[in-house]
Amino acid sequence: MSTKLIAAVAGCALLALGSMNEAQAFEGGVSPYPAGAVGTNMANLPPIPGLFALEQFNYTFANGLYGNDGKKLPIPFSTSVFSETTRLLVSYPFHLLGANMYTQLVVPVVSLHTSVFGQSSTQNGLANITLTPVLLQWQLSQNLAIASGIDFALETGSYSPTKSSVAVGYTSVQPVFTVRYNVPNGIDVGLSSRLLLNTKNGTTNYSSGDGYVGEFEAGWNLGQWKLGVVGAYLNQFSDDNADGVNVGNRMRTFGIGPSVVYDARSWNVNLNYQQGIYAANTAKSSSVWLNIAIPLWPGFGRKG
């Protein structure tokens, strides 16, 4: 869960210091979506019916907090996060609006370790479960595909309003649109655009601002291998609101790094590293992702 968990710790550390005006964006500094999680899996959906899984293993680390101006703050801080996320995808044996139809369930489990001013803490637990009731993919040509759906990051998981948590205490509605152009033994480019439309936290009466996440990948296919880059940009475009008071600060992050993919057709492995390049009102984090896509029950809806 990378960025959002690091940001959560950053926000809570600063609250303990009594600083509400720096490095504080979204509630407690927590983004409801970990920018960069999609990796190379943009519009990469199975064309046959069945049950499929994407297992994501992530390690993220950071050693500094950054203020609204993007400059590092003089606060001794470090954190490391390990997460294992299971994404289950159902591919249906029929079409809707001319598109292949899917349903997705995302279940992340997280271990978070933090040190602030020499004081260490560890939290483990379930982060927010995400449900995509309807995900549609249109294959516009042999090489061009688009996909769209609405993710619901539900108010679930190990959340606490009084300490750093591995989940947020509200639901986030996230429309997603993805386009990808992929040529065998040629170029592969993709862009995913996501809105973060956040509801109010009923426990704290805090409304986190809305945001945008743009994730991208570009590479070149070499047989079953692909070499390239992946990255993500997060921009919170509206202010937080606490008990009717405008909080003001907004989170921004950008990261990019190399990626390698091995595609065995029935299964797929992606390893990528995303270096934190810029951060404002959060921690500048870097992440390693290992993504393994496997079929669990392919072709369950086929006739004959």
Asked whether the whole model's pTM tops 0.75, one would answer: yes
Look at residue 304 and tell me if it is in a domain: no
Burial of residue 255 (number of CB atoms within 10 Å: 0-12, 13-18, 19+): buried
Closest C-alpha to 206, from 166, 250, 161, 141 = 161
Instruction: For 221-272, write each residue's pLDDT tens digit.
Output: 999 999 999 999 999 999 999 988 998 789 999 999 999 999 998 899 999 9
Q: pLDDT value at position 37? A: 96
Look at residue 68 and tell me if it is in a domain: yes
- Beta strand ranges found along 97-157 (DSSP E): 99-116, 119-126, 130-139, 144-153
Q: Name the domain count of the chain.
A: 1
Look at residue 302 and tell me if it is in a domain: no
> Would the pLDDT of 176 be above 60?
yes
The CATH number of residue 96's host domain is 2.40.128.130
Confidence band of 302 (pLDDT split at 50, 70, 90): low
Mean pLDDT confidence for 52-70: 94
Q: pLDDT value at position 196? A: 98
Look at residue 232 and tell me if it is in a domain: yes
Domain of 109, in residue numbers: 2-297
Q: pLDDT value at position 254? A: 98
Q: pLDDT value at position 19? A: 36
d(CA 191, CA 181): 9
Instruction: For 82-103, write each residue's pLDDT tens digit.
Output: 999 999 999 999 999 999 999 9
Burial of residue 73 (number of CB atoms within 10 Å: 0-12, 13-18, 19+): middle
